[in-house]
Structure 1
Amino acid sequence: MSIEEDVWRFLRSKNFSEKSTAAVMGNIYGESSFNPSEIESGSGDGFGLIQWSFERRTQLEAYGTDLTHQLNFLWAELTGDTGNTGAESQWTNVSGYLSHDNFMSGNGSINDLTAAMCFCFERPGVPRLSTRQEYAQKYYNQFTGTAGTPSADSQQSISIPSTNYQVVANSQKEGQILYGRRYRITVSDEKGNGFDVSQLRCTFSIVKTILMEPNTSEITIYNLNSQTENNIELYGTRVTVEAGYEGSQYGTIFDGDILQTIRDKEDSATYRLTIIALDSDRAVNFDIANYSIARGQTARSIVDHIVNKAQYPVSLGSISESLNNSPKLTRGKVFFGKSSDYLNQIAESNGCKYYTEDGKVNLVKLDEMPKGEIFELSPSSGLIGTPEQSDYGITGQCLLNPQIKVNSLIHIDNSLIRAKKISITGNSTVPTMGGSSTNSTRQKIIDKAKEIVQKHQEGKAVYVLGGRGTNSQGQEMYDCSIFAETCYAAAGITMSAPSSSQYSKCANGGLISSDMNRLKNEGKPGDLLFEGSGGSEHVEIYDGNGGNYAAHTANRPIPEQIRHDNNITSPYMTSWGRPKELMDADNGNPPSASGTNTTDSNTTQTPVYRSLDKDGIFRVLKVTMSGDTRGDEWYTSFTAIDQLGGIIPITAI
């Protein structure tokens, strides 16, 4: 890895913005061309990456002069958080240039940020500003999207080698032994100082999906010494997992914030520390948009604005080109609320899916081809066992491979896939008109509602207004509309909060009725009940038998916050509704990404599950990466849907 990439990763690991990072690097090029041993020609006063001179050079040399020490010293001077470096804050606000606060937040163009770094921090005798700005832009273009990596300790910098993800020799499974593994697991504090625990036995389970929720990981470290264990429990804020195989099939598979640590014993002699961590939790659940934008903005420019203004730094991943062609705002717009809700609204209104992965925001259309090559999966390239056909695609398992990500494409020869068995009497055939009121789509909604109610009774889920994801105690959070959204998502139907939006979706092509007597005769499990004008006050899920499932209020104790009632208890439920996707499911048509029927009225109804893609191309919707550094487990399990040859369904994952 080059010194330039080391510097980029170091600064980004501090949650420093990409533009400010590029500005620092443009100035480093102007000072030393990234030679950490550079000595100023002529006088010999300047030394190192930014040509420290006089007292600053003396302070650096007392602290340490290798690359890691220079980067830590630079960060201490830049932020004023000097710690044990012996450095002093060196930023001086100068009229006409960006302030320190704006620089640290990345608020400004790359040229302005580079100029501020030059004249407020570096203060060179010969600025050569245009060169610094040119290289700042170059590094921004080159490294944008490259994640940061925390340092292992004050003496060692952790870096991730570049990856082209090829399967290497001896990475196949032979007997019960898996050869060629490579991994590194590090835990770091808020300053980037960390612990490399790779020499110990570690297990991990990492789940990533194409849903608007943080990706999760559970990492267990065995037999830590007491001091390291205490430091991780007290100060650990971030965990990074790199895994794969020796050679080039290696990369980061998780980088996220620590939510909880649990210490216990597996047996009388084996201690273990379990780390629960979330990727993009702060961006999804806590980032607040509080600003206004001018008219004339497209959906793409609004996304850029939200990301650039993010309180918790994120970067852009895959963004659909269709957002550039969206209608422009005819007047200015005020943003006040969760950034993730605004991003999800943009995705919904443009037919996209919004998700986050590795700290990157992604808005993709499932009928567009993702960037990158299609990965070929076969027994010789790591496919394990026999993939199985599911309702809308396939599920399978392969050797751990960082290249298989959410929204990536894989190719599997159809002859290797086991077909789904048709059940003549089960739910795999389509219910016809006039049949049972509970088809498989509705049943999934009710099953998910029951599951959440059960979790609440066990103390694993709570009511939180506006809640989404999990809290610091690891409890799932729901309010009424997010409860409905989650239950519908289990059936493959997008029903985005708040309740007023859910009401509008039922009214747009579906069914809305204020006749509650009609509900008794025509209501079916999974229909929605609304309170207030336009459903603005409250929403519940009808159980099909006069009762309801709902997240009610935080003003009651567990288990009464989220519950099932045998009767509709609120007299204020004034209307009920049914989205078009449920009406289609009643007619035997599974939900689809386009919202259109998957069967024509003039054709014979088809089974709920789809035939395999004729070209064997599948898009990955969910990956679960699991490993044991001292055991056999070292796998990626995946759920994928058909990519070509028709409408791409929304499927529960």
Structure 2
Amino acid sequence: MGNIEAESEFNEKLIEQGNGIGFGLCQWSYERRTKLERYGTDINHQLNFLWAELTGEISDTGASLEWIDKSGYLSRNKFITGDGSVEDLTAAMCFCWERPNAAVAHLERRQSSANKYLQQFTGVTGVDSANSQSEAITVEATNYEVVKGSEKEGDALFGRRYRLTISDNQGNALDISQLHCLFDITKTIQMEPNLSVITVYNLNVKTENVIIASGKRITVEAGYEGSQFGLIFDGDIIQCINSRDDGTTCKLEIIALDSDRAINFDIANFSIVRGQTQRDIVEHMSNVVTNPVDLGSISQKLSGQKLSRGKVVFGKASDYYRQIAKSNDLQFYMDDGSINLISMDDLPEGEIFDLSSKSGLIGTPEQSTYGINGKCLLNPQIKLNSLIHVDNKLVRAKRIELSGSSVSPVGGISTSVAGVRNKIIAEAKQICDDPNIQYSQEYRGQTVGGIKYWDCSSFAKHCYEVAGLSIVDITGPQYNQVKNEGGKFISQSEAQPGDLVFWGKGDACHHIAIYAGDGYVYAARGRDGKAPADQVAYHALYGEPEFGRPKCLIDADGGNIPTCNSTTDTGSDEYDSQGLFRALDKDGIYRVISMHYVGDTRGNDWYINFETIDQLGGAIASVSN
């Protein structure tokens, strides 16, 4: 059973992924598969065929005796009579009958599963766990739960399946699948770690203490029986919080981040010779950084122009990834520990997943500004940057909202407002991405020796000027302008990209930045220990700043809303009042840019909320790094 579980997880209809060669419980291939299919492929036929190959009792199966006696393993006679330990029996079946060339590392998973079933059916184990002296518990190779009373019919969406494991730095793992677990996982196509909040109920005190003290990594696999099952989260544990819902119900809340170390802490320090492409830089950097990462989807655009001279790379790896993405008009994001640099003009790899009520679509998808938002049953085959097909007849059209003071239609925020704020952010981002920008109060606003210098207040003033807005210079007067000249201070939850962020009050205000959204800012910030080039950057909020909106930005937010039958005097398509939001993709093809997994292993929740954009022009207007 350990061997069969390792091969197919007891799915008699499983076809080997990729090449499609293997089939069935034991993944028969080539001539053996042909003989099986000639005999029959249901569960009874496969078990009869398996017995015939092991024993030589052919009968009408058409099989052949496939056992090969090999030195170091049990003979066929000892195997048939069970003369050996469960480890020896498992190894003999693996190497003498099933996979003569299988790697030894592959055997450990099979033996672990075999011991699990031996214990399950006899109450004893084959050998002591290799981790029996540690505080952790050894995880079985495969362990999943099926909802009571559910059925399995091929890939029909019956029979939930899941596995949650927690491991320490030494790889010792604890399987918590049999407990009541909730998971809430968010993934986006932005340059930020993916977040998961996993709640485990009623752990015993010893196990809870082990997780809090030693748990470093958590993985979540979920879906349904059949091919619709796989990994949905793999990340580092950041915090564990134990609490009680009531007098008898204890819970442990585990907060974890995927790719946090890669995005926020990885440092690159190497040099490369001339003739290398940017793809070469990405590949090398992913291997030599503090925490190496795998390569995901990397655009072919990076394989073009070669460096005319050597280059030294030193600094945060994510800053270099972002600069490479910016200079090549790519999108940079991380998913399950892999780095992705994609072009929105390119079609993603893999097939388009057709989403309908028969394949898991829940309710009615709704049109958004740039695509559609919807909900479907939990499906790990739907990933970030994958394409889905939804029949547009199933989509509810976006409703035009009317403002309280005007009958002019606006699609969320007006296009003129979005244009002003987008210009502020675009300029701030361009400056922070430019390698020829440095921080200096002495040379603020000047270009010396090919290097442009900014400090915090001149940086903010310049970005506003590019968008056609005027604010004063120097942090103290900038704060007082918001306070005394028609501006207003707002909470962080009310802040929008383009608003100002202040540290200190009044004349004592010592720093200003431009809010980028999602808890990040663009700023020119003098910092001890940081190179001048690294002080003009995109970084997370810190401390307890105030958020301000000057009067000029308030006026831009509230004025010049275009009517239905006219445009602004700019004549630009960007301000076209007809473009309140995009039309639905004519073919119903949408690219996934955000996913929110919600699951309850003993409740009703088992779904994904997804956001998409359509493929018009390949733009990704609703997402920003």
In 2: Cα distance, 1:411 partner to 1:650 partner: 19
2:66 matches 1:39 = no
2:620 matches 1:627 = no
- Residue 272 of structure 1 and its aligned partner are, at CA, apart by 0.7
Q: Do the aligned residues in 1 keep the contact of 2:345 with 2:617 (CA within 8 Å)? A: no
**Matched residue, 2:547:** 564
Secondary structure of the structure 1 residue equivalent to 2:213: helix
Q: Which of 367, 385, 388 is equivalent to 2:366?
A: 388
- Residue 330 of structure 1 and its aligned partner are, at CA, apart by 2.3
Q: Which of 221, 238, 249 is equivalent to 2:200?
A: 221
- Residue 290 of structure 1 and its aligned partner are, at CA, apart by 1.4
2:209 matches 1:230 = yes
**Matched residue, 2:395:** 417
Q: Do the aligned residues in 2 keep the contact of 1:388 with 1:394 (CA within 8 Å)? A: yes
In 1: Cα distance, 2:106 partner to 2:398 partner: 63
In 2: Cα distance, 1:419 partner to 1:395 partner: 11
Could you tell me the percent identity over the aligned residues?
47
In 1: Cα distance, 2:386 partner to 2:179 partner: 32
Q: Which of 285, 304, 327 is equivalent to 2:264?
A: 285
Q: Do the aligned residues in 1 keep the contact of 2:456 with 2:524 (CA within 8 Å)? A: no
**Matched residue, 1:406:** 384
In 1: Cα distance, 2:588 partner to 2:455 partner: 38
Q: Which of 237, 240, 249 is equivalent to 2:228?
A: 249
In 1: Cα distance, 2:407 partner to 2:108 partner: 61
**Matched residue, 1:367:** 345
Secondary structure of the structure 2 residue equivalent to 1:230: helix
- Residue 228 of structure 1 and its aligned partner are, at CA, apart by 1.0
Letter of the aligned partner of 1:191 in structure 2?
A: Q
Secondary structure of the structure 1 residue equivalent to 2:279: helix
2:312 matches 1:334 = yes
Q: Do the aligned residues in 2 keep the contact of 1:599 with 1:605 (CA within 8 Å)? A: no
2:321 matches 1:343 = yes
- Residue 333 of structure 1 and its aligned partner are, at CA, apart by 1.6
In 2: Cα distance, 1:498 partner to 1:296 partner: 36
Q: Do the aligned residues in 2 keep the contact of 1:188 with 1:194 (CA within 8 Å)? A: yes
2:296 matches 1:320 = no
Q: Do the aligned residues in 2 keep the contact of 1:296 with 1:329 (CA within 8 Å)? A: yes
Q: Do the aligned residues in 2 keep the contact of 1:172 with 1:382 (CA within 8 Å)? A: no
How is 1:572-583 mapped onto 2 (pairs within 5 angstroms)?
Answer: none
How is 1:101-116 mapped onto 2 (pairs within 5 angstroms)?
Answer: none
Q: Do the aligned residues in 2 keep the contact of 1:430 with 1:606 (CA within 8 Å)? A: no
Return closer, same or farther for 1:599/1:254 CA change in 2, 3 Å cut-off. Answer: farther
**Matched residue, 1:273:** 252
- Residue 156 of structure 1 and its aligned partner are, at CA, apart by 3.9
Secondary structure of the structure 2 residue equivalent to 1:284: helix
Secondary structure of the structure 2 residue equivalent to 1:267: coil
In 1: Cα distance, 2:142 partner to 2:621 partner: 41
User: CA-to-partner distance for each residue in 1:56-90, whole Å, 9 max, x for gaps?
Assistant: xxxxxxxx99725999xxxxxxxxxxxx979xxxx
Q: Which of 164, 177, 190 is equivalent to 1:185?
A: 164
Return closer, same or farther for 1:613/1:316 CA change in 2, 3 Å cut-off. Answer: same
Q: Do the aligned residues in 2 keep the contact of 1:397 with 1:636 (CA within 8 Å)? A: yes
Give aligned pairs, total: 438
- Residue 245 of structure 1 and its aligned partner are, at CA, apart by 0.3
Q: Do the aligned residues in 1 keep the contact of 2:375 with 2:610 (CA within 8 Å)? A: yes
In 2: Cα distance, 1:320 partner to 1:289 partner: 21
In 1: Cα distance, 2:618 partner to 2:234 partner: 35
User: CA-to-partner distance for each residue in 1:368-395, whole Å, 9 max, x for gaps?
Assistant: 1000000000011100000011111111
Q: Do the aligned residues in 2 keep the contact of 1:550 with 1:562 (CA within 8 Å)? A: no
Q: Do the aligned residues in 2 keep the contact of 1:550 with 1:563 (CA within 8 Å)? A: no
Letter of the aligned partner of 1:340 in structure 2?
A: S
In 1: Cα distance, 2:407 partner to 2:314 partner: 45
**Matched residue, 1:376:** 354
Q: Do the aligned residues in 2 keep the contact of 1:389 with 1:417 (CA within 8 Å)? A: yes
Q: Which of 273, 276, 286 is equivalent to 1:297?
A: 276
Instruction: Could you tell me which runs of 5 or more consecutive residues in structure 1 were left unpaired when the two chains were aligned.
Output: 8-34, 41-46, 49-63, 72-83, 87-151, 161-166, 174-178, 447-465, 467-479, 481-496, 532-536, 569-575, 590-597
- Which sits farther off after the overlay, 331-340 or 502-511? 502-511
2:549 matches 1:540 = no
- Residue 553 of structure 1 and its aligned partner are, at CA, apart by 9.5
Q: Do the aligned residues in 2 keep the contact of 1:383 with 1:397 (CA within 8 Å)? A: yes
- Residue 644 of structure 1 and its aligned partner are, at CA, apart by 3.6
Letter of the aligned partner of 1:183 in structure 2?
A: Y
In 1: Cα distance, 2:324 partner to 2:162 partner: 38
User: CA-to-partner distance for each residue in 1:554-613, whole Å, 9 max, x for gaps?
Assistant: 99xx99642136899xxxxxxx99xxxx99x98979xxxxxxxx9855995314211111
Q: Do the aligned residues in 1 keep the contact of 2:593 with 2:612 (CA within 8 Å)? A: yes
- Residue 294 of structure 1 and its aligned partner are, at CA, apart by 1.5
CA RMSD of aligned residues (A): 5.6
Q: Which of 607, 610, 614 is equivalent to 2:586?
A: 614
Q: Which of 603, 613, 617 is equivalent to 1:641?
A: 613
User: CA-to-partner distance for each residue in 1:508-548, whole Å, 9 max, x for gaps?
Assistant: 986698975999999999658899xxxxx9652499xxxx9
Letter of the aligned partner of 1:613 in structure 2?
A: D
**Matched residue, 1:78:** none
Q: Do the aligned residues in 1 keep the contact of 2:155 with 2:226 (CA within 8 Å)? A: no
Q: Which of 242, 247, 250 is equivalent to 1:263?
A: 242
Secondary structure of the structure 2 residue equivalent to 1:256: strand
The structure having more radius of gyration, on CA atoms, is: 2
In 2: Cα distance, 1:566 partner to 1:422 partner: 27
Q: Do the aligned residues in 2 keep the contact of 1:170 with 1:180 (CA within 8 Å)? A: no
Letter of the aligned partner of 1:627 in structure 2?
A: G
Instruction: Could you tell me which runs of 5 or more consecutive residues in structure 2 were left unpaired when the two chains were aligned.
Output: 8-67, 74-86, 89-104, 113-128, 145-150, 425-431, 433-438, 440-453, 489-495, 503-509, 529-540, 564-569
Letter of the aligned partner of 1:246 in structure 2?
A: E
- Residue 257 of structure 1 and its aligned partner are, at CA, apart by 0.6
In 2: Cα distance, 1:608 partner to 1:209 partner: 24
In 2: Cα distance, 1:313 partner to 1:295 partner: 23
Q: Which of 309, 318, 326 is equivalent to 2:288?
A: 309
Letter of the aligned partner of 1:404 in structure 2?
A: I
- Residue 504 of structure 1 and its aligned partner are, at CA, apart by 13
- Residue 279 of structure 1 and its aligned partner are, at CA, apart by 0.6
In 2: Cα distance, 1:233 partner to 1:286 partner: 23
Secondary structure of the structure 1 residue equivalent to 2:585: coil
